[in-house]
Amino acid sequence: MTPEQFIAKWQISTLKERSAAQEHFIDLCRLLNEPTPAEFDSTGECYCFERGAKKTTGGDGWADVWKRGYFGWEYKGKRKNLNDAFIQLHRYAPALENPPLLIVSDMEQIIIHTAFNGTVPDRHTLTLNDLRNPNKLRLLKWAFSDPERLRPKLTTAALTEQAARQFGELAQTLCERGHDSQQVAHFCQQILFCFFAEDIGLLTNQLFSQLLKTGQQRLNDLPQLLTGLFNTMATGGSFGMEKIDWFNGGLFDAAKPLPLTRTDVTLLRELARLNWSAIEPSIFGTLFERGLDPNQREQLGAHYTDSASIMRLVNPVVLDPLREEWRLQQETIKELVDNVAAQNIKAEKVIAAVNKTILTTESAKKVVKARADVSKAEAKLKQQIEKRCRNFLNRLAEFRVLDPACGSGNFLLLALRGLKDLEHEVILNAERLGLPASFPKVGPENVLGIELNVYAAELARVTVWIGEIQWMLNHGFSLSKNPILKTIHIIDQRDAIMNTDGTEATWPKVDVIVGNPPFLGDKRMLGILGEAYVKQLRSCYRGRISGGADLVTYWFERARAEIELGKANAVGLVSTNSIRGGANRNVLKRICETTRIFNAWSDEPWINSGAAVRVSLICFGNTKLTPILNGEEVTAIYADLTAGDDTKVDLTTAKSLIENIDVAFIGTQKSGSFDIAGELARQWLKEPNSNGRLNSDVLRPWANGMDITRRPSDTWIIDFGTEMKKQDACFYEQPFLHLETHVKTKRTDSHETIAAKWWLHTRSRPDMRQALNKLPRYICTPRVSKYRLFVWFSIAVLPDSATAVIARADDTTFGILHSQFHELWSLRMGTSLGATPRYTPTTTFETFPFPIGLTPANTGGATETLKSGAIIPIVAAEYQDHAKAIAEAAFQLNQLRENWLNPPEWIERQPEIVAGYSERIIPKPEYTARLKQRTLTNLYNERPKWLTNTHQQLNCAVAAAYGWNDDAIQLSEAEILQRLLVLNLAR
């Protein structure tokens, strides 16, 4: 068929919808050279006419034509309202598996609506005459063959970002002009809603844009015009020539528009051109909030919490259990239907049997009875189905979700959408089962929020309402009006954890709780929330949350209490990943005691407000679901957010071991510029002091984590030890003078005790010094580092607080610490700073079960140097061989690493200028650049074969000491940890 033939035929056609539609469509297929449904798919599984039609009547399908993954297509008779057809398609789109294109036609026109997720919908209208135009015809061809090509370029995210950025600018200028930020916020919400209302047709005839146009010409009249419009929206009525719906909702009450400049209005008119109907309210809220906060403004372009992250909580807590309930209902319904169908077949057999015989009164009665039974059974079935559907719909309508820290309402919005989607699915299902269509009842009243920030609370209300309206329109429902925005109290503006009188806040009874409470480390709480508040808060939760815990834990504890009180069933909250350790973990321990964690993501990146923070997502509550950790089913989830299985014990139960006490320390914390460059130190070393003492008494090489992981920085430190008096210290003239100029004043600003002894490090670590005193060298590891590295330092070197120190000089201890066993243990038992693992002496070292006979308690005595140079501790005879084997492997590892770090050919070794210090390593000039690359982090990043092998040998030696000779190398991580835990608990 040619376009001309097609046009000629359909221009004059007067056929009514149903009879014409299929013919029209088949003609189109011929025109486009596309297969018809019958040619393409004889089963009708993925391309057919009358999708979802009831078998009995053959009509009332979800769509006149449907092609899976391509389009839903609805016909209307000529010059009937095509919008009705579009609404119908929208309504049934979920049942049609949400096709990317929704196409409507009255045979004169074909309108293609795009419906790709996350894009701003597009619309292509084709008239009959357009079919002559190859470009237009191509659009239609794509609809049949390659709908992706019709995907709009503009995503809702991009649109929203643009809108939020420009809108934020306006808000900012208003604030800068001295208006109260609350007023600015309220005003912006009103304007935002007007944009939205105009673009979805609630404000007719571009009323708001027209108003802005007028206002630009008559700037002085603008406030009055806006007041008039807002007031009319508050009550409903007429504004100029237009009839205005009753909007209500508090948004337009007491309208007091702010004065605008001509530039503002120009900006607003530009904004009005955007397609606000497709705005994504969840993104808008976040971005706009940032636009208002000067501290966050530079992050405007940054990412926002994506809905996928939020759904990781909303799905398991809100939606999955409901979906499961509905699935069970459907199963029961299917059983009922099958039963009745079986009865019917039986009855039909009876009737058929009777019909074969000669009709008698008796047999006629039989038939009548059989028929009556059938219809009775069917009526009963219908009743039962209806009851089950109605009950479930009521359950949905009554379902309540609380976000006790709702911010701009993102969680509530997504929960609402999810509930509405599910309700819609149930309604469509019910219709298919022959029940009458019902109107959705789930709405903003299903979601409740608590939010302290007045502005965010207001934003949340608008967010939820825009979400509601968008959903209704996108699913072919009209809005319930009078008023459009119900005055439902969904967002409670108050403190969610404590009342103003210092008592614990209460939360409304709901089904589930979700949210992202604020994160604030215990130290920062004081500064940001104020001392009085923090004090009150801590005393309010005394005995339940310790002072060392993050602010976020108060929400966890409050939510746990709600479950205990029977006021909620399940909870899903976000926290920083540090909830897994330290004082924070206790709140999860309590949760594990009174209820259970059933779904968690232990350590996920979370990009929000531009802050690089890693989070844990935690769901807990009363459910029988199989626990899922990081997306995989497990037997149990422990308080540190690790998995348990049947064989494994909870690692959080590991205890500190006496044999490990007083061996590991954190280095000194200087608090001030006690550090100096090596060159300056050497200069001072040569200079005499008036009392005859040498500066070498108080100058030492210094090491922080970077001196271990990268090239040594040749930094020295002024160290007057733990208790030297000022009158003694001042004899070391230059060092003392240096501190007077660089440290004294800064310290004076600090806390009294810190200010008083300003020439000493704030934490000079006397215990550590005592433990190191007797040793020629010690083991050191960076507290925060990508790899768990241990190195040797001469006793002359002073370790900084960025490192942890193990006061042992033997290679055996070094080897055990550097084995995979301790590495694994420290990764699991330690915490992290962001994504980087952190070594904590108490939880990683003190709990670590060394091999029997080789514990720190056994290795603290005399040592012996082997032929190779390795130093071994003198331990009981039966362990001596293991000590030796480990020491040799460790010695080799260290030596190979040293050779790689400082190849003898590339460097020269020089004695330090005064005695008592280690040799200096001076790069030969031609190798300086290459030596810079020789760092331990780089080495472990590259991980050459020799390194892996050497570590493997070390692992074997240590495994042997544990008595795990058999298959130590094949041991899984979980198996190793379990064995270590058993050892820990046994001691």
Partner DNA sequence: GATCCGACAATAC
Partner DNA sequence: GTATTGTCGGATC
Query: What's the closest the beta carbon of residue 950 comes to DNA, in angstroms?
Result: 20
C-alpha closest to that of 163 among 263, 274, 269, 264: 274
Count Cα neighbours of 703 within 13 Å in the Cβ-side half-sphere. 28
Query: What's the closest the beta carbon of residue 815 comes to DNA, in angstroms?
Result: 22
Helix, strand, coil shares of the chain, percent, nearest 5, are 50, 15, 35
Which residues does 70 contact at the CB level (< 8 Å), separation at least 6? 99, 100, 101, 143, 144, 147
d(CA 83, CA 105): 10
Query: What's the closest the beta carbon of residue 817 comes to DNA, in angstroms?
Result: 16
Query: What's the closest the beta carbon of residue 549 comes to DNA, in angstroms?
Result: 8
Q: Are 451 and 407 in contact (CB under 8 A)?
A: yes
Query: What's the closest the beta carbon of residue 295 comes to DNA, in angstroms?
Result: 10
Question: Measured between alpha carbons, how far is residue 940 from residues 789, 884, 923, 969 in Å?
Answer: 9, 26, 22, 20
d(CA 745, CA 721): 20
HEC string of 809-878 equals CCHHHHHHHHCHHHHHHHHHHCEEECCEEECCHHHHHCCCCCCCCCCCCCCCCCEEECCCCCEEECCCHH
Q: Which is nearer to DNA, 818 or 838 (CB)?
A: 838
Q: What sign does the dihedral 758-760-765-766 (CA atoms) show?
A: negative
Q: Which is nearer to DNA, 244 or 760 (CB)?
A: 760
Q: Which is nearer to DNA, 59 or 548 (CB)?
A: 548
Q: Which is nearer to DNA, 112 or 805 (CB)?
A: 805
Q: Are 165 and 132 in contact (CB under 8 A)?
A: no
d(CA 871, CA 721): 29
Q: Which is nearer to DNA, 705 or 873 (CB)?
A: 705
d(CA 122, CA 128): 20
Query: What's the closest the beta carbon of residue 320 comes to DNA, in angstroms?
Result: 23
Q: Are 118 and 158 in contact (CB under 8 A)?
A: no
Q: Which is nearer to DNA, 433 or 520 (CB)?
A: 520
Q: Which is nearer to DNA, 466 or 807 (CB)?
A: 807
Q: Which is nearer to DNA, 162 or 722 (CB)?
A: 722
Query: What's the closest the beta carbon of residue 890 comes to DNA, in angstroms?
Result: 21
Query: What's the closest the beta carbon of residue 551 comes to DNA, in angstroms?
Result: 8
Q: Which is nearer to DNA, 605 or 688 (CB)?
A: 605
Query: What's the closest the beta carbon of residue 687 comes to DNA, in angstroms?
Result: 26
Residue with tokens 């807590």: 317
Q: Which is nearer to DNA, 731 or 900 (CB)?
A: 900
Q: Which is nearer to DNA, 553 or 689 (CB)?
A: 553
Token pair for 819: 């084995």
What region, left, alpha or beta, does residue 563 occupy, with left being phi > 0 and alpha being psi -120 to 50 degrees?
alpha
Query: What's the closest the beta carbon of residue 663 comes to DNA, in angstroms?
Result: 9
Helix (H, G, I), strand (E, B) or coil at 494: coil
Q: Which is nearer to DNA, 800 or 811 (CB)?
A: 800
Query: What's the closest the beta carbon of residue 316 comes to DNA, in angstroms?
Result: 19
Query: What's the closest the beta carbon of residue 839 comes to DNA, in angstroms?
Result: 8
DSSP string, 755-816: HHTTTS-SB--HHHHHHHHT-SEEEEEESB-SS---EEEETTSEEBTTEEEE----HHHHHH
Query: What's the closest the beta carbon of residue 781 comes to DNA, in angstroms?
Result: 10
Q: Which is nearer to DNA, 144 or 825 (CB)?
A: 825
Q: Which is nearer to DNA, 30 or 710 (CB)?
A: 710
Residue with tokens 């982090």: 937
Q: Which is nearer to DNA, 257 or 837 (CB)?
A: 837
Task: Please state whether beta strands 611-621 and 628-629 pair in parallel, antiparallel, or not at all (unpaired).
Answer: unpaired
Query: What's the closest the beta carbon of residue 172 comes to DNA, in angstroms?
Result: 21
Angle at alpha carbon of residue 840, lines to 543 and 790, rounded to 5°: 175
Q: Which is nearer to DNA, 706 or 887 (CB)?
A: 706
Q: Are 209 and 265 in contact (CB under 8 A)?
A: no
Helix (H, G, I), strand (E, B) or coil at 119: strand
Q: Which is nearer to DNA, 131 or 981 (CB)?
A: 981
Which residues does 574 contact at the CB level (< 8 Å), separation at least 6? 313, 515, 516, 517, 606, 615, 616, 617, 618
C-alpha closest to that of 615 among 629, 601, 604, 599: 604
DSSP string, 399-434: --EEETT-TTSHHHHHHHHHHHHHHHHHHHHHHHTT
HEC string of 558-613 equals HHHHHHHCCCCCEEEEEEEHHHHCHHHHHHHHHHHHHCCEEEEEEEEEEEECCEEE
d(CA 870, CA 759): 39
Which residues does 892 contact at the CB level (< 8 Å), separation at least 6? 868, 950, 953
Query: What's the closest the beta carbon of residue 585 comes to DNA, in angstroms?
Result: 8
d(CA 647, CA 636): 11
Backbone angles phi, psi at 425, to 5 degrees: -60, -45
Token pair for 284: 């808008």
Query: What's the closest the beta carbon of residue 580 comes to DNA, in angstroms?
Result: 9
Q: Which is nearer to DNA, 301 or 434 (CB)?
A: 301
Query: What's the closest the beta carbon of residue 780 comes to DNA, in angstroms?
Result: 11
Query: What's the closest the beta carbon of residue 522 comes to DNA, in angstroms?
Result: 5
